[in-house]
Amino acid sequence: MTAVPACRICGERTVFAWTAREMMLGTRERFDYLECVGCGSLQIDPLPASLDRFYPPDYYTQACAEPSKQQPGEEAMQRIEQAPPGAPRPAPRGRRLRRRWSEVRLASRGALVRALSGRRYARFDWFRRTGTGIDDAILDVGCGSGRLLGRLAGEGFTRLVGIDPRFAGRALSDQGIRFARESPEEHTGQYRLVMAHHSFEHMRDPVAAFAAMARLVERGGHLLLRIPVADGWAPRHYGPDWVQLDAPRHLHVPTRRGVEILARGSGLRLLEVVDDSGPFQIWGSELYRRDIPLVGPGRSGRSALPWSSRIRARLEARRLAREGRGDQACFYLRRD
């Protein structure tokens, strides 16, 4: 009889949880997930040898930051890759007003600034909570196409680095951003802020990856970790149809307790957990429950659901977020 693997996050024993289907692309292949009896985190079993075919060229994180711009030439890419990590670069004249506005948003907590900032305000909340300034060194782990870093460069941030083993080299050459095809275990440097936006759950060894990200945080700096969490309402309600299980790409999905355990083992202090979930947890899971894939030719995503269902999903998601029971969270961790 084959032994059941231990939890890859806390080392406790695991039990069978679900058999989930690959539904983002709609292949419907089946993958088993285990649940830890200690921290409650989920993990795929067995760990796939390769997932390359589940990350097609049009996978959403690889989409070009600005499709209207062409891919930079070889010479431009060499200039980006040879630049010193996190080296400050002067912002072009066209960015001066945006930079000034960014500084105001970082410093302000006012309702007027929040209203004028609209949806962009959320990311400035990350920097304000961590005390990260316009000219501080920032690392984006699992940066995909570099879209987020491109937006930050356009807002006036000057010391930006992105790493991703699947980086396709499509970032713009004039943004002053350094990119590397590396994992956090391979990368070196020290940063005021290390960010991982929905990339940690794709990493094969959560303990090693978390420790590597923690090592890259300078003293007094922060790790900002945004991930789906397995202890929200949606995982329990939808089970194997939970959209953010995302079999087989999500190799592990921690709980809030799981992240606390990882933090203690890596010398970081968990400061705050902010529920930043939205209606996707409901309408995406409802699609899967109805055997409707998320993306692909001729598929309409949430519009496949009645408008009344979409409104209910939005209202229910707001309630879950207020109660801290959503299916994803932003963790703020500090190196003292």
Question: What is the chain's pLDDT, residue by residue, as a tens digit (336 residues)?
Answer: 567 899 999 999 999 999 999 999 999 999 999 999 999 999 999 999 999 999 887 675 555 433 333 333 333 333 333 344 444 444 455 555 566 656 666 666 555 545 555 555 567 889 999 999 999 999 999 999 898 999 999 888 999 999 999 887 655 545 679 999 999 999 999 999 999 999 999 999 999 999 999 999 999 999 999 999 999 999 999 999 999 999 999 999 999 999 999 999 999 999 999 999 999 999 999 999 999 998 865 555 777 889 999 999 999 999 999 999 999 999 999 999
pLDDT recorded at residue 176: 76
Separation between Cα atoms, residue 46 and residue 23, nearest integer Å: 19
Q: Tell me, what amino acid is at 77?
A: M
pTM of the model: 0.84
* Cα(329)–Cα(325) distance, integer angstroms: 9
The gap between the terminal CA atoms of the chain, to the nearest Å, is 46
DSSP string for 275-309: E---THHHHHHHHHHTT--SSSTT--GGGGS-HHH
How far apart CA 250 and CA 109 sit, in angstroms, is 35
Q: Is the peptide bond before 48 cis (omega within 30 degrees of 0)?
A: no
Q: What is the pLDDT of residue 241?
A: 98
Superfamily of domain 14-334: Vaccinia Virus protein VP39 (3.40.50.150)
pLDDT of residue 302: 76
Tokens standing for residue 184: 């956090």
pLDDT, residue 92, reads: 53
pLDDT at residue 76, as a whole number:
31
pLDDT at 155: 87
How confident is the model at residue 299, as a pLDDT? 54
87 close to 159: Cβ distance less than 8 angstroms: yes
pLDDT value at position 227? 98
DSSP 8-state secondary structure symbol assigned to residue 260: H
Q: List Cβ neighbours of 321 (8 Å cut-off, separation of 6 or more).
A: 275, 276, 277, 278
DSSP-assigned states of every residue in 61-77: GGS-SSTTSPPPPHHHH
Among 60, 5, 13, 9, which Cα is nearest to 32's?
5
Closest by CA position to 299, among listed 23, 65, 72: 23
- In the chain, count of helices (H) and strands (E)? 10, 11
Instruction: Show the tokens assigned to 164.
Output: 């991703």
Place of tokens 């961590």: 130
